[in-house]
Amino acid sequence: MVKTDNFQRPVLSLRISITNRCNINCFYCHHDGIIPQEYEMTPKEIERIAQVAKNIGIRKIRLSGGEPLIRDDIIDIVTRISSLKFKDIGLTTNGTLLEKYAQSLKDAGLNRVNVSFDTLNPETYRFITKSSYVDQVKKGIKKAAEVGLYPVKINMVVMRDLNHQEIWDMFKFCKENGAILQLIELLKAESCPDTDFFDDYHYDISIIEEKLKVKADEIKTRYFMQDRKKYFLERGEIEIVRPMDNTEFCKNCTRLRITPDGKLKPCLLRNDNLVDLMEPLRLEYSDKELEKLFLESISNREPYYNQCGL
Ligand code: SAM
């Protein structure tokens, strides 16, 4: 049965960060709010945590990082999670290794994939990521759609005068390749040594949203996903991901997180209430005892931005 926290928020999904390592270096990256650690959970430990999550009613798993596809045991990890029969297993990737892994990921039981891809322009890509994988990422996206991962979503962080002019080209690319475009508003990243980028590149995504409202044939709201809006137009789809540092984001948060070193993280924006699961696993806690740790963590969940008195 689905568990609900003290603010009537159901806990529906678990985002497991399986590594802090990444093979590109986006200048704006917030590293999913995770402080770097040396230890990485083994596939067996990840499977056990997923099993306990399933026992307490979590229905969906998303694998993230760092870059999840740089783990050479990624297929083993997905296979183990898939054997637990979740409603949905997704993965967020920078796409650089997706062409290589798409078929095996699909065969292992992965359902969907989000590919972070901000630009089609090789120079802009190099500026953002300090790498030159743009063609590999395009091939990865095509391959993911071909092998039947569904949906394939493209996460495009929109940045002023860097890629905001490219939105319609990216939309066209997505439509041609069977993908859905998600436009993400740039967030100030506290974990980033240089936060000046925010003032330089922040672009208010509501400008685009206003245009979409006029152009769209249909608009839908995703209630369990921070009330995100989906705009259907020109036989394609654009989703808008609003900034996370606000009361609305917290009000609609249905997600728990696990850090790569095996700590439960009840809030994206906090690191002072983590609950270690590795020591209990090594001490051979029973499923019931591990479930208790999850439930305690859920009962301590509170909205980070709570100004409207949720
Ligand atoms: N390596 C994987 C990837 O590239 O998708 C997963 C990790 S990455 C941190 C997850 C997502 O966070 C990406 O879609 C990325 O664009 C987004 N992201 C990172 N820093 C951000 C920021 N400052 N503002 C908005 N989105 C950000």
The pLDDT, as a whole number, for residue 305 is 67
Cα 31 to ligand 1 centre (Å): 7
* pTM metric for this prediction: 0.93
CB of 70 within 6 A of ligand 1: the answer is no
Handedness of CA 109, 114, 120, 124 (dihedral sign): negative
Residue nearest to atom 2 of ligand 1 (CA): 93
Nearest CA to ligand 1 atom 23: 187
Q: Name the residue among 152, 133, 148 with its Cα closest to residue 90.
A: 152
Q: Whose CA is nearest to atom 26 of ligand 1?
A: 186
Is 13-308 CATH 3.40.50.2000?
Answer: no
20 lines ligand 1 (CB under 6 A): no
The rounded distance, in Å, linking the Cα atoms of 208 and 190 is 26
| Chain segment 47-101, per-residue pLDDT in tens | 999 999 999 999 999 999 999 999 999 999 999 999 999 999 999 999 999 999 9
- Ligand 1 atom having least distance to the Cα of 92: 5
Q: What is the pLDDT of residues 288-303, one digit of tens each?
A: 999 999 999 998 888 7
5, two tokens: 């926290």
Look at residue 70 in the predicted model and tell me its pLDDT.
97
Q: How far, in Å, CA of 73 to CA of 255, rounded?
A: 25
By most ligand atoms within 8 Å of CB, the mutation choice from 157, 187, 188, 195 for ligand 1 is 157
Query: Does ligand 1 lie within 6 Å of residue 262's CB atom?
Result: no
